[in-house]
């Protein structure tokens, strides 16, 4: 059984966790646990709350170190790039005739260290080429063939469920 989330989904969810943390009253640990549980619905046995929290915290620390004034926009742009393009910046097809990029993987293809490196590289690319900044009206619902992933950024988080 394929239990592991694809790396690009992990990267985008870690960024989403950091971005939503900036505008909520929920702790980073609670936010990470929420998104980990959502991913576990689609990739059973893949409890990664600690890894999500580690990456989200590192993203926020990096943004603070560089003095980013538009942290939420940068995080949203990273989500957009990871969800819509492959590592060589070719457009990502989420669905093809016989498979889906959302299908689980047999081996774990992500690590918090690799995700943090990708984020730092993206941050410095964005500073030199602002064209990679996502449009303000983009959200996850605009993902073509995104299935369950399309509504993830708008999913309501109930803070009382953590009590």
**pLDDT tens digits for range 26-78:** 999 999 999 999 999 999 877 799 999 999 999 999 999 999 999 999 999 99
- Reported as a single tens digit per residue, the pLDDT across 11-36 is 999 999 999 999 998 999 999 999 99
71: number of Cβ within 10 Å = 18
Residue at 13 is within a domain: yes
Range of the domain at 22: 7-88+111-155
Q: How far apart are CA 81 and CA 97, in angstroms?
A: 23
Residue at 25 is within a domain: yes
Q: How far apart are CA 38 and CA 123, in angstroms?
A: 27
Q: How far apart are CA 17 and CA 148, in angstroms?
A: 17
Residue at 101 is within a domain: no
Total domains in the fold of the chain: 1
Instruction: Report the pLDDT value the prediction gives residue 8, as an integer from 0 to 100.
Output: 94
Residue at 149 is within a domain: yes
Q: How far apart are CA 14 and CA 49, in angstroms?
A: 10
Select the more confidently predicted residue: 98 or 117: 117
pTM above 0.95, yes or no: no
Residue at 94 is within a domain: no
Residue at 2 is within a domain: no
Percent pLDDT > 90 in the chain is 63
């Amino acid at each position: 059984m394929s239990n592991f989330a694809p790396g690009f989904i992990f990267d985008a969810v870690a960024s989403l966790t950091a971005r939503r943390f900036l505008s909520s009253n929920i702790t980073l640990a609670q936010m990470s646990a929420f998104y980990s549980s959502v991913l576990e619905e689609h990739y059973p046995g893949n409890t990664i709350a600690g890894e999500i929290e580690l990456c989200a915290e590192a993203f926020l620390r990096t943004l603070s170190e560089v003095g980013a004034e538009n942290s939420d926009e940068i995080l949203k742009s990273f989500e957009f790039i990871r969800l819509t393009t492959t590592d060589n910046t070719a457009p990502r097809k989420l669905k093809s005739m016989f498979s889906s990029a959302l299908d689980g993987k047999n081996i774990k293809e992500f690590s918090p260290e690799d995700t943090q490196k990708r984020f730092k590289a993206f941050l410095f690319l964005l500073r030199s080429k602002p064209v990679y900044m996502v449009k303000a009206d983009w959200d996850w619902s605009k993902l073509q063939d995104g299935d369950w992933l399309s509504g993830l950024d708008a999913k309501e988080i109930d803070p009382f469920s953590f009590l």
